Amino acid sequence: MDSTMSTHRLCTCLLFSGLAALCGCARGPFTDTMRLSENESQAIDALVEPILPSYHYLNVAVVRDHQIVLNRSYLQNRLQEAEDYASVSKPVTAMLIFQFMEQGLIEDLDDPFLRYTPDLDRIVPEEFTHRPITLRHLLSHQSGIRHLGDTWQEGELNLAFEPGTAYSYSTDAFGILGLVLEALSGQAYGDLVYTRIGKPVGAHSFGALHHFLAPGGNVHSTTEDMARFAAGVMTNAYITEATFARILAESGITNRHGLVNLGWFYRNLGTPDFALFHTGSNGRPRAFLRLLPEPGMAIAITGLTKSARAPFDLETLGRAILDLLRPPSSERLPETDIELETRIDLLPGVQGKRKIGAKRTERCMITNTKTRAPEELVVQLRGIPLVS
């Protein structure tokens, strides 16, 4: 009798939960991982609450000390549902390229992509054959390939500029990288994502849609598995620490988001506040991923907005949550105000390819981009080889 009643209560509970979700009444939050204090948990809810009216649902997964400490859904229970990464797919594709490079399948990022896909030579316009599109161009949005429109003209790439001479964000460029990965491996891009990105960190929901733009905009997994990817990046689950350090040392270009380089956006490179991140939007599906390697923290956020015109507020939310949970720092950099003008100015006396490691700090002058006034900051060095 007791067993029957318990079963009845469970079924009733599940029925009403399902009805609530169908009618939009479900609120949550729904949580299946929680290793935070109650105060921290409530503080995160308070940060999330103001933006919920713009969303059908929102998911948050947090990494601290390289471990997932929170996996939570708001408005609907999406804890075990695969979510669209949108442009957060690009760091995933970049990591696959780095793996291939480390394993010798790719010799150099400055190689023309046609070295690995010679059958695609027909898609490069004849007027640009003197300046080949390299893998680095594709990874860093310097290929000239247009973004989601007018990409092709009579079967050829309709390049906006000569490769390597300018910056223009391009999801389609990552589609070309996907073709390179498939040609070198003999596997479909989605299979590579699962076997090389998901499986090494126990993230078994990883996959991708089967079309040209997937490497730049259509990887998917649960939000918790996106956080596992972030932890894997920080713990060298995909490539060695030496390879990752060399990648970070590569020169990039600066735009309004920060330093753009090889599939990621960076801020505060060479300091304790160093951050890797990427945002994503496929209209209403939204995503954000941010890594803080020094304290071993990361945040993954996905959601579905009610309107494709809703503001992109996940970056602000993600940074606020990480700031809330991060250990106090006496010299936290004012990230949004500071832009390092040049790497050589950041490290006085460093020339060529000299490695930094002996001295742990440097005092340097940088420029506040709002006031244009010089400011002095202490920059912590971690032995990463910095190349001018």
Read off the pLDDT of residues 211-268 as tens digits, 9 standing for 90 and up.
999 999 999 999 999 999 999 999 999 999 999 888 887 756 666 656 778 999 988 8
Mean pLDDT, to the nearest integer, of 195-206?
98
Number of alpha carbons in the 13 Å side-chain half-sphere of residue 158: 10
More confident residue, 361 or 203: 203
Number of alpha carbons in the 13 Å side-chain half-sphere of residue 266: 22
Q: What is the dihedral of CA 223, 229, 234, 237, to 10 degrees?
A: 150
Q: pLDDT tens digit string along 5-32?
A: 344 433 434 433 443 444 444 677 999 9
Mean pLDDT, to the nearest integer, of 171-199?
98
Q: What is the pLDDT of residue 227?
A: 98
More confident residue, 3 or 377: 3
Q: pLDDT tens digit string along 34-55?
A: 999 999 999 999 999 999 999 9
Confidence of residue 127 (pLDDT cuts 50, 70, 90): confident
Q: Calculate the average pLDDT of the chain.
A: 81
Alpha helices (H) along the chain = 2-22, 38-48, 89-102, 135-139, 172-185, 189-192, 214-217, 223-234, 241-249, 314-325, 343-346
pLDDT at 272 over 70: yes
| Residues 272, 382: Cα–Cα separation, whole Å | 9
pLDDT at 310 over 90: yes
CB 298 within 8 A of CB 111: no
CATH 1.10.150.120 fits 83-270, yes or no: no
pLDDT at 377 over 70: no
Q: What is the pLDDT of residue 380?
A: 30
Residues found in the chain: 388
| Residues 34, 325: Cα–Cα separation, whole Å | 13
Q: What is the pLDDT of residue 126?
A: 86
Q: What is the pLDDT of residue 256?
A: 61
Q: What is the pLDDT of residue 201?
A: 98
Mean pLDDT, to the nearest integer, of 285-308?
97
pLDDT at 182 over 70: yes
Q: What is the pLDDT of residue 247?
A: 83
Rounded to 5 degrees, what are φ and ψ at 358?
-70, -45
Q: pLDDT tens digit string along 58-103?
A: 999 999 999 999 999 999 999 999 999 999 999 999 999 999 999 9
Domain ranges of the chain: 83-270, 338-380
Which of 67-81, 294-308, 328-342, 370-384 is least confident? Answer: 370-384
pLDDT at 2 over 50: no
Q: What is the pLDDT of residue 8?
A: 40
Which of 79-88, 102-111, 147-156, 360-369 is least confident? Answer: 360-369
Q: What is the pLDDT of residue 334?
A: 53
Mean pLDDT, to the nearest integer, of 325-347?
46
Share of the chain above pLDDT 90, in %: 65
Mean pLDDT, to the nearest integer, of 311-318?
96
Region at 190 (left for phi over 0; alpha for psi -120 to 50; beta for the rest): alpha
Q: Does the predicted model carry a pTM greater than 0.95?
A: no
Confidence of residue 344 (pLDDT cuts 50, 70, 90): very low
Q: Give the rounded distance of the alpha carbon of 254 from its chain centre.
A: 17
